[in-house]
């Protein structure tokens, strides 16, 4: 009997196990496990959200979540890999690149070896002319993909064969890499890529130009831009950025210009024009649109003495200051990073670019504007020092700015120091970095004693914090 009960028990367990397995298999067949979708992969960057990524790639948020079942929708970490659904014909790792001056859809396609139609699809491009300098482009990168970094271009009247012989490469390889359709398909000044690494720095510009660059990208309201140009011997260079004339200076054989971007300039695209000229009048020019992005400034309201916002007073004073700071001297007095002019270098009561509404006390007079400099914390009587070497071009009282000092640092770069209680320098003085030039005060249009410091670059007020963070040019 005991053995019979044991046998029956074993049979019961086997039957029960078989029943469970049958149920599991049936459930699996009816509800297959979610599998990660196939498609190109995006690497999550700092600050990314699923909503942002979905919008970036023009996919539905629910589709993105469904394609990545392993990802917690409420928590993304930098470096995670997300499959982007709905991009048929596109594979690899999706990366971003910023369009530089001289680049085009054609040159980007050649360098990345990604077909034009894929780039157009990924970036929702309506027209190739939309590739403005400074915009971020999505490009797929395949594992084992050959990267071509050597830029070259044919000169006017030069064949691809002649170019290949000059650089020691294969003309048919050049034709294939650059999707020319044949060795006859190279256009003058068109950017080509070479597998030899000896192509030099082709810019996609006319033959008079060796290279041209614009930094940083994209342009930002209130920023300082550095334009670098190399031209062939005998040529001089000029140009405009956001319709402002550029002032070029020679730096080790390279022509360099600094230009401020106004804090109130509308975001959007603006032209960068360059022109190279020979003494006999021969000219070559090039133009490309560049992107200006928002400075993301906040707003504030201030109540002030109505006399300091009266246009009859402010406009003549503004013209006086602009007349001083728009003069571009050929001497460069500064080098390296600017030093803080204040005793408390990291304590600010107001930042550059803040949108302001000024209201006159006990009046209905209001004026809209922006904060043109950087306000340092600190009480009356604290020392103010020169942030960089230069020459004093103004020292005296003003209605809006109070007791003021302006220093010319050369090449169109100026510093202004407003609201001082005392001025220790006079017009014409040479000053060195760190030299005490005055004391903090509360003169002019103020709500209390502080140092207001401005930096002008080629006639435009820019964010002084940039000059405390990096060296120009």
Q: Which CATH class is domain 150-194?
A: alpha beta
Collapsing DSSP states into helix, strand and coil, what is residue 34?
coil
pLDDT tens by residue, 232-287: 899 999 999 999 999 999 999 999 999 999 999 999 999 999 999 999 988 989 89
pLDDT of residue 5: 44
- Considering the four listed CATH numbers 3.40.50.2300, 3.30.43.10, 2.70.70.10, 2.40.100.10, the one that applies to the domain covering 299-469 is 2.70.70.10
Name the average pLDDT for the chain. 85
**Is the omega angle on the peptide bond into residue 313 within 30 degrees of 0, that is, cis?**
no
Tell me, rounded to whole angstroms, the distance of Cα 456 from its chain centroid.
20
Q: What percent of the chain has pLDDT over 70?
A: 85
pLDDT tens by residue, 313-332: 899 999 999 999 999 999 99
Q: Is 410 left (phi over 0), alpha (psi -120 to 50) or beta?
A: left
Give 120 or 166, the one with higher predicted confidence. Answer: 120
Structure tokens at 41: 């992969």
H/E segment holding residue 38: none
Whole-angstrom distance, CA of residue 238 vs CA of residue 411: 15
Domain ranges of the chain: 150-194, 209-293, 299-469
Kindly report the CATH number that applies to the domain delimited by 209-293.
2.60.40.10
pLDDT of residue 251: 95
User: With 0-12 CB in 10 A as exposed, 13-18 as middle and 19+ as buried, what is 207?
Assistant: middle
pLDDT tens by residue, 421-435: 999 999 999 999 999
Q: What percent of the chain has pLDDT over 90?
A: 51
pLDDT of residue 31: 38
Whole-angstrom distance, CA of residue 438 vs CA of residue 387: 13
pLDDT of residue 167: 64
Segment 353-367 mean pLDDT: 90
pLDDT of residue 231: 92
pLDDT at 374 over 90: yes
Confidence of residue 202 (pLDDT cuts 50, 70, 90): low
Confidence of residue 189 (pLDDT cuts 50, 70, 90): low
């Amino acid at each position: 009997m005991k053995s019979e009960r044991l046998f029956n028990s074993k049979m019961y367990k086997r039957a029960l196990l078989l029943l469970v397995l049958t149920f599991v298999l049936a459930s699996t067949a009816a509800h297959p496990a979610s599998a990660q979708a196939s498609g190109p992969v995006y690497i999550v960057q700092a600050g990314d959200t699923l909503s942002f990524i979905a919008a970036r790639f023009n996919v539905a948020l629910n589709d993105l979540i469904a394609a990545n079942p392993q990802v917690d929708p409420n928590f993304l970490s930098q470096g995670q890999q997300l499959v982007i659904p709905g991009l048929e014909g596109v594979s690899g790792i999706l990366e971003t690149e910023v369009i530089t001056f001289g680049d085009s859809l054609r040159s980007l396609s050649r360098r990345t070896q990604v077909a034009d139609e894929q780039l157009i699809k990924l970036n929702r491009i309506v027209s190739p002319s939309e590739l403005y300098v400074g915009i971020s482009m999505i490009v797929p990168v395949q594992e084992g993909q050959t990267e071509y970094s050597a830029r070259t271009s044919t000169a006017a009247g030069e064949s691809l064969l002649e170019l290949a012989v000059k650089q020691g490469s294969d003309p048919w390889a050049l034709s294939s890499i650059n999707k020319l359709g044949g060795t006859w398909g190279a256009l003058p000044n068109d950017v080509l890529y070479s597998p030899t690494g000896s192509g030099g720095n082709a810019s996609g510009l006319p033959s008079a130009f060796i290279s041209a660059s614009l930094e940083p990208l994209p342009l930002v309201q209130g920023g300082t831009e550095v334009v670098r140009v190399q031209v062939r011997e005998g040529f001089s260079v000029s140009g405009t950025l956001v319709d402002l004339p550029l002032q070029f200076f020679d730096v080790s054989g390279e022509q360099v210009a600094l230009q401020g971007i106004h804090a109130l300039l509308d975001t959007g695209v603006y032209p960068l024009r360059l022109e190279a000229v020979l003494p006999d009048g021969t000219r070559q020019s090039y133009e490309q649109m560049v992107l200006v992005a928002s400075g993301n400034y906040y707003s504030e309201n201030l109540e002030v003495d109505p006399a300091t916002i009266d246009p009859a007073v402010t406009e003549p004073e503004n013209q006086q200051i602009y007349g001083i700071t728009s003069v571009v001297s050929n001497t460069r007095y500064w080098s390296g990073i600017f030093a803080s002019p204040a005793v408390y270098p990291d304590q600010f009561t107001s930042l550059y670019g803040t949108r302001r509404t000024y209201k006159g006390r006990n009046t209905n007079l209001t004026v809209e504007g922006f904060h043109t400099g950087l306000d340092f914390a600190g009480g009356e009587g604290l020392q103010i020092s020169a942030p960089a070497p230069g020459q004093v071009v103004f020292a005296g009282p003003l209605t809006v700015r109070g007791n003021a000092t302006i220093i010319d640092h050369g090449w169109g770069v100026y510093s202004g120091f407003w609201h001082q209680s005392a001025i220790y320098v006079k017009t014409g003085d040479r000053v060195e970095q760190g030299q005490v030039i005055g004391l903090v005060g509360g003169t002019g249009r103020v709500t209390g004693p502080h140092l207001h410091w401005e930096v002008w670059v080629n006639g435009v007020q820019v964010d002084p914090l940039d000059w405390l963070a990096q060296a120009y040019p």
